[in-house]
Amino acid sequence: MIYSNKVINLNSGPAALPQEVLQQASEAVLDYNGTGVSILSIPHRGKDFNAILEESKQLVRELCGLNDDYEILWMHGGGRLQFAMIPMNFLGEEQTAGYIDSGNWSADAIRHAEYYGNVQVLSSSKEDNYQHLPVWPHDIPPNLAYLHMTTNNTIYGTQWPEVPAVSMPLVADMSSDIFSRQVDYTNCAMFYAVAQKNIGPAGATLVAMRKDMLRRISRSLPPMLNYAEHVAKKSVLNTPPVFSIYVSLLTLRWIKEKGIDKIEEENKIKAALLYDEIERNPLFSTPVKKEDRSMMNVCFRAVDERTEQLFLDFCEASGIVNIKGHRTVGGFRASLYNAITIEDVKYVVAVMLEFELNKK
Ligand code: PMP
């Protein structure tokens, strides 16, 4: 049996964070920056938190190549609140929004939008249980209020190769692949990502929005549900998730220091190592088409279903945890977000090989 000196957590979110970030975060819990006060207890309208907010927003701008045309917000409520707020703010009752249905989270976004206006599903791979990406629609009606896409489908392990330029405002859910590769973020009028995968702990959601979008809000909305109010109050309309935003800042610094180019290069290597082993090892297979495969969530199965639980137990005994697939699809899912190292993936591959040898 081979051993790892650490536990490798492949959870899809809340996900593993870089060790340096955890170290700094834990120190700040005891004493934030030598102030004698815990990060958990600093005033959310004070100068320390204001500096955290400003630096984090500046880093998001820098990492995504955004200029001052974009507002950066930290919000509560996870991905689902964005599913509701997007149509609430940008879809009038008589208007139509286009959605690409590439997985469960896209479908959930669609269900939320249907409360507010007309929804046109432009393309869907639901019939095939989302095992591949739907075709990108050819004739997108030009008068859509916006077009919504999910860049990476966390549950099914598919990922769009790029974020395309379209003529209407593009709104992208980038929850499970933000900061994992170079994409043209300026093709989006708005993008959002829950923190709990590539950014930080659950509790904060990052939203970037082109300023002209704020002029499209036509409904009368209570302040907490109105993007313009959040922008006006600079993400402190109410008490924000201070700790989650602080840890997100630590991760953003880590991403900047490493560089997105380097992160992308490593993510490609990590994904290739694991997909190659899935293809080589006769005990495993993946239903996901090669060209649609995600670098972030690698979904695969046991060829013989009876070995599924055995492999899960073997992983656990080898120090690999949370590799079980989403409950709606079964099998395995290895989430290889930025904090997972090439060494970690090599270890997972070695464990798969050892499992195969033990079965002989
Ligand atoms: N979008 C994507 C792509 C996700 O993977 C998830 C959840 N993992 C969500 C949205 C929903 O996020 P939340 O649970 O914070 O509402």
Region of 112 (left: φ > 0; alpha: ψ -120 to 50; beta: rest) is alpha
Active-site residue, from 101, 173, 292, 344: 173
Active-site residue, from 57, 197, 270, 324: 197
Atom 9, ligand 1: residue with shortest CA distance: 79
CA of 81 to the centre of ligand 1 (A): 10
Query: Which pLDDT value is given to residue 218?
Result: 86
Q: Is 105 a catalytic residue?
A: yes
Assign domain 22-258 to its CATH architecture: 3-Layer(aba) Sandwich (3.40)
Do 204 and 72 touch, CB atoms closer than 8 A?
no
Task: Ligand 1 pocket test: pick from 11, 101, 194 the residue with the most ligand atoms within 8 Å of its Cβ.
Answer: 194
Helix axes 78-90, 104-113, angle to 10 degrees: 40
Taking only the tens of pLDDT, the chain with its 360 residues reads 777 788 999 999 999 999 999 999 999 999 999 999 999 999 999 999 999 999 999 999 999 999 999 999 999 999 999 999 999 999 999 999 999 999 999 999 999 999 999 999 999 999 999 999 999 998 899 999 999 999 999 999 999 999 999 999 999 999 999 999 999 999 999 999 999 999 999 999 999 999 999 999 989 999 999 999 999 999 999 999 999 999 999 999 999 999 999 999 999 999 999 999 999 999 999 999 999 999 999 999 999 999 999 999 999 999 999 999 999 999 999 999 999 999 999 999 999 999 999 987
Residue in 104, 240, 93, 259 with CA at minimum distance from that of residue 173? 104
CA of 174 to the centre of ligand 1 (A): 9
Do 72 and 57 touch, CB atoms closer than 8 A?
yes
Which atom of ligand 1 is closest in space to residue 155's alpha carbon?
Answer: 5
Q: Is 346 a catalytic residue?
A: no
63 contact partners, CB below 8 Å, separation of at least 6: 179, 252, 255, 256, 260
Q: What separation in angstroms does the CA of 282 have from each of 108, 251, 276?
A: 35, 38, 12
Query: Which pLDDT value is given to residue 353?
Result: 98
SS3 96: strand
> pTM, whole model, 2 decimals?
0.98
CA of 48 to the centre of ligand 1 (A): 30
Active-site residue, from 74, 101, 105, 177: 105
Query: Which pLDDT value is given to residue 2?
Result: 76
- For residue 191, list its beta bridge partners: 172, 208
With a Cβ cut-off of 6 Å, ligand 1 is lined by: 13, 78-80, 105, 150, 154, 173, 175-176, 194
As assigned by CATH, the class of the 260-359 domain is alpha beta
**Alpha carbons 342 and 360: distance in angstroms, whole number:** 28
Residue-range domain boundaries for the chain = 22-258, 260-359
- 5: its two tokens: 């000196």
Q: Is 360 a catalytic residue?
A: no
